[in-house]
Structure 1
Amino acid sequence: MFILLIVSLTAIIIYQYLIHRNQQRVLTSISEKLQQIMKRSTDEKLLLQTDDKRVKTLLVELNKLLDHNQTIRAAHNQTEDSMRRMLSNISHDLKTPLTVVMGYIEMITSDPNLSKEETDVLLKKVHYKTVEVLNLMNKFFNLARLESGDIDIPLTRVNINEICRKNILTYYDVLAAKGFTVKVDIPEEPLYVLGNEVELERILNNLLSNSIRYGSDGLVIGLTVRSSSDMIYVDVWDKGKGMNERDQNRIFERMYTLEDSRNKLYQGSGLGLTITKRLIEQLGGEITLQSKPFERTIFTFSLKRLNF
């Protein structure tokens, strides 16, 4: 009986030792694989055959952490790419008008035979280009403040119908001169949103000017206000050349411009839509884009509806 007890205890000890050794081997394997994944910055997962429920749970949680880390790394890489592109575009957009300004000033200072009329013309061009640089720098500053949360936008009850009507009317002369057909669909019933009148005018100004610039081939521009029980939707659309799926996915990025936007006809800083998106988010809304070239390119932003 005593011998049987000794044998049983010995068997238990050996069994526990084997389990412990197997666990050590599994944990060592997990540790080594995890180090490899982190060192190489790959998208691999921890895959290991085991019957130990605790180890399985550990693997599930570690893979969740790896997913989270990979998401953060991808976002970081995207931000770095965006910053590099932004710095490159900032350099281009500031260098071009400043080079022109320097050229005009050199003409004024190096040619004593310039008449007063000729000098005045050059000075007006210098002034125009200087204002262009200042406006661009203000856009950079405003975007930086928006993204840092340094702007406090008070929200109040705003009649979105009136703001939309007023903003489309400010473009009447421009649209008429360019030969646009304007289609406006704004309900007679007053619709109110939780927003800010000044920022909503900036948003509409950015969207309308964008549609005029890039939708000129279609010569049709539209503004529609729609509502549901708890939301208000504003559509700004055109029938211009639109954009491909790649551009649609990136159009709200900082400094992203369409391929031909460096053409003088379509020149833009690439900041307007980014600022628009940030402003709408500050107002608690969202903005989306759908585009079918020469059929309809539509920007839709939504805001919370107030029913009182």
Structure 2
Amino acid sequence: MTAALGVVICLLLLGLVMQYRKSRHDSRQLKYIHEKLNDIISRNSQERLLLFSTSPELRLLLTDMNRLLEINHEGIARRNKLEKSMRQMLANISHDLKNPLTVVLGYIETLLQDGDMEAEERERLLGMIHRKAGEVITLMNTFFDLAKLESGDRELPLSRVEAGEVCRRNILAFYDTLSAKETEVVIEIPDEPCYMRGNDEALDRILSNLLSNAIMYGASGGVLGLKLYNDKNTVYFEIWDRGKGISADHQDKVFERLYTLEDSRNRVYQGSGLGLTITKRLTEQMNGTISLVSKPFVRTAFTVAFPRINF
């Protein structure tokens, strides 16, 4: 009996010792996690916690904490990208507003200082002031439109739309411009009606932006194309040209706010850098997608796709 009691006591003592050692081991691990986590956060490091524990519960906790660290790092990266984008946007806004306003002020000073100016010259300068002021108003309205789209304040009522009619009226709107540039136009629109769920006004703006973009940047190719096609579930609008195109390192950036190609700051290629951003936002509001494929002087094509309505 005494021997049995001694064995029990020994086993209890052994269990207590093992439990104490395990407790100390867990305490050291928890201390490491605390210190390492603070270090990672303070340095904004991309490190992760090591999964060194033999405890299944602690390993599960470490795995979850690493996932949180990864989410936090992605959030910081997005914030840094947004801050950089905002700084660039402010610089571009300043640039785009400064140019026409500087011209307007210059013309006004000329009018004020030259009291003997001939009536014809005065009318010419007033016409230039009017046009430049109009450019500023147009640019400010574009900024306002984008702000409304990105804030979610603007809801687009959707209804059944015949895509072929949208294509026809938009290409006709550019008939004079294309004729003046002697641009060959290739139109592929099926004879049978093609229906989708969308918003007429938004679709007009999308196609107008893409056609304007193709005319502005693709004129050197001498040809512009508009193609409408569909499959069982999707309607596709494709606007293409054979102009200077967009290099691979720029293609993933053209839909960013106020992003413009380097030479778009030249007078020939002047643009606000907002057209494609607005196009993308409007497309997404109608449950669509937009993509770009470009090979300079061979084919540059923007394709917008929307769910088809089958009747």
- Which amino acid is 2:70 matched to? D
CA distance in structure 1 between the aligned counterparts of 2:227 and 2:20, rounded to whole angstroms: 74
- Tell me how far 1:48 sits from its aligned partner: 3.4
Compute the TM-score of the two structures, normalised by the length of structure 2: 0.97
Deviation string, structure 1 residues 78-127 (Cα, Å, up to 9, x no partner): 11111000000000100110010000000001111101211111000000
Q: Please name the residue that 1:22 is paired with.
A: 25
Deviation string, structure 1 residues 214-241 (Cα, Å, up to 9, x no partner): 1111111111111111111111111111
Q: Identical aligned pairs, as a percentage? A: 50
Deviation string, structure 1 residues 130-153 (Cα, Å, up to 9, x no partner): 000000000000000000001111
In the alignment, structure 1 residue 95 sits paired with structure 2 residue 94? no
Instruction: Give 3-state SS (helix, strand or coil) of 2:262's partner.
Output: coil
Q: Please name the residue that 2:77 is paired with.
A: 74
Instruction: Give 3-state SS (helix, strand or coil) of 1:261's partner.
Output: helix
- For residue 59 of structure 1, the aligned residue among 62, 65, 73 is 62
- For residue 124 of structure 1, the aligned residue among 117, 124, 127 is 127
Instruction: Give 3-state SS (helix, strand or coil) of 2:229's partner.
Output: strand
Moved more, 243-252 or 172-181: 172-181
- Tell me how far 1:47 sits from its aligned partner: 1.6
Q: Please name the residue that 2:6 is paired with.
A: 3
- For residue 106 of structure 1, the aligned residue among 109, 126, 146 is 109
- Which amino acid is 1:277 matched to? K
Compute the TM-score of the two structures, normalised by the length of structure 1: 0.98
Deviation string, structure 1 residues 191-229 (Cα, Å, up to 9, x no partner): 011001111001000000000111111111111111111
CA distance in structure 2 between the aligned counterparts of 1:83 and 1:217, rounded to whole angstroms: 33
Unpaired runs of at least 5, structure 2? none
- Which amino acid is 2:43 matched to? R
State the number of aligned residues: 308
Q: Please name the residue that 1:50 is paired with.
A: 53
Unpaired runs of at least 5, structure 1? none
CA distance in structure 1 between the aligned counterparts of 2:31 and 2:63, rounded to whole angstroms: 17
What is the Cα-based RMSD across aligned positions, in Å?
Answer: 0.9
- For residue 289 of structure 1, the aligned residue among 292, 298, 308 is 292
Q: Please name the residue that 2:233 is paired with.
A: 230
- Tell me how far 1:293 sits from its aligned partner: 0.8
Q: Please name the residue that 1:181 is paired with.
A: 184
CA distance in structure 1 between the aligned counterparts of 2:249 and 2:209, rounded to whole angstroms: 21
